[in-house]
Structure 1
């Protein structure tokens, strides 16, 4: 399911001197610090566990930027400058990835650490490209050092990711979440989501109603169950709950695909994840459509 390359495009040209190398490194680091810092400043109380992760990540990048400036001054007698750049470095910390975390109803520390690991893996690949294409020894050596730093960082972040996963797993086993990493728990969530989507469709405008019902069939199988559903709930609460359950199901299937060893179980989890992600995208589109 997650077979896309970490680095979408290769660096467009070799780095010609050490000043250019440090300018690239500083640009990437300042960009990461800014984007992590934006999430670190999020004020939503429900985002607090994730915000603390981004506070730590932002601080790490700020410290890295200071170290890059000092290394550049030691090497060429001045700090890196934008004028040293011949091409703008590609994005290693993607805004859309961070937006997914920020907008998710299920954001947790594990997901934030996992994304940070991915960013450092991307940095490692980037710097290995730079080192491999360098014509000058000092540039190659410095790029190799930055690749090793990214690798070390990735290992440290993986440790934080494991600790977060264990903590969240303990909460799940204690009853805070209904077996969120097991396919067997998904059947109940699917049933609950089906009811939520049907209830959503009943109060939605006609175009949205048709779209919603297309996600669950024509809704005829819900006619009897609908009589037993509570009527006092607010329309917005039904929508939020449906989105939350759809997102949780996508996470369950993706996690199961990541863990699967048996090929048939992997194929099933991937199929379920693909369907669930498409459904979640449809629900988000419907939810954002003006009524």
Structure 2
């Protein structure tokens, strides 16, 4: 999953002229701006740090689109139009990545900047392909300029990503709380998650209850400690669901990272098994949570 190439497909045909090149560029840029703008208004209060990043990214892409239009007018005397396109330009900001970030309970500013870096890395690779396939010198020169611009922009975004990572690391070190400590112990997280799944099941309709209980075994071990604590109002149950989803996502991330760091085959296989089980469990929990809404 993590070894997939940045650019899934190459341009399907050479770009024939400058008008087509600018039409491709402005289509991709406007699409990126729309994607970023959608996330700039998404989420709740907890999503605020991520939303702020996407506000900046949306503005950057809008400014880029304006610059592309002006460059096209200077080059051929008019703005690019969809009629210049012979094939639909590939999306450099895949919807799957955006959806993962929007729906994740672990989304951070670092993750948002990292997504933007991947976007510009894809743009660099895309324009190098266009330059390599170009049949005229003018198209090749313009595509090389687009590639250089993507490379420069990527470097600026990496700096923002690095600053976000340092800020989040400082917060993690300073935040010596049970929530921070949970991340260092998969065993503790598993225990907390199973307890919350059990408590969630006690308030769920029968079909969902059976599904939830199947995620923690046959129930023969009896009620879990703290599982029967009272739930005085709906907000308490909502918090249990949210916490269970967060813990399930954290565990998936821990096991995937462990697989990446594995130094021997047995450790790799164990981490992969745990990751596969955890990812399937997370998918089930998300499905049950959406059915309850």
Q: Same fold (TM over 0.5)?
A: yes
Aligned residues: 287
Q: Give the superposition deviation at 1:229.
A: 4.6
Paired position in structure 1 for 2:135? 135
Paired position in structure 2 for 1:117? 117
Aligned 8 A contact 2:26 2:65 in 1: yes
Paired position in structure 1 for 2:229? 230
Paired position in structure 1 for 2:248? 246
Paired position in structure 2 for 1:62? 62
Q: Aligned to 1:138, what secondary structure does the other structure show?
A: helix
Q: Give the superposition deviation at 1:181.
A: 6.0
Matched, 1:38 2:34: no
Q: Aligned to 2:149, what secondary structure does the other structure show?
A: helix
Paired position in structure 2 for 1:274? 276
Q: TM-score, normalised by structure 1?
A: 0.89
CA distance in 1, matches of 2:141, 2:106: 42
Paired position in structure 1 for 2:213? 213
Q: Give the superposition deviation at 1:104.
A: 2.0
Paired position in structure 1 for 2:21? 21
CA distance in 1, matches of 2:255, 2:16: 46
CA distance in 2, matches of 1:273, 1:166: 27
Aligned 8 A contact 1:180 1:252 in 2: no
CA distance in 2, matches of 1:181, 1:150: 36
Aligned 8 A contact 1:36 1:54 in 2: yes
Deviations 1:39-71 (A, max 9, x none): 223373222111111111111111211211121
Q: Give the superposition deviation at 1:243.
A: 0.9
Pick which of 212-221 and 8-17 moved more: 212-221
Aligned 8 A contact 1:186 1:249 in 2: yes
Q: Give the superposition deviation at 1:5.
A: 2.4
Q: Aligned to 2:162, what secondary structure does the other structure show?
A: helix
Q: TM-score, normalised by structure 2?
A: 0.89
For structure 1, the residue ranges without an aligned partner over 5 or more in a row are none
CA distance in 2, matches of 1:275, 1:36: 32
CA distance in 2, matches of 1:2, 1:282: 22
CA distance in 1, matches of 2:191, 2:50: 29
- Within 5 Å, give how 1:116-195 maps onto structure 2: 116-174=116-174, 175=176, 177-179=179-181, 182=184, 185-195=185-195
CA distance in 1, matches of 2:268, 2:89: 36
Question: Residues 75 and 137 (structure 1 numbering): CA distance in 2 closer, same or farther, change over 3 Å?
Answer: same
CA distance in 2, matches of 1:74, 1:118: 30
CA distance in 1, matches of 2:238, 2:170: 31
For structure 2, the residue ranges without an aligned partner over 5 or more in a row are none
CA distance in 2, matches of 1:269, 1:162: 28
Pick which of 226-235 and 271-280 moved more: 226-235
Aligned 8 A contact 1:173 1:179 in 2: no
Question: Residues 84 and 50 (structure 1 numbering): CA distance in 2 closer, same or farther, change over 3 Å?
Answer: same
Paired position in structure 1 for 2:285? 283
CA distance in 2, matches of 1:57, 1:267: 39
Q: Aligned to 1:220, what secondary structure does the other structure show?
A: coil
Deviations 1:75-131 (A, max 9, x none): 111111111111111111122322222222222101111111111122122112211
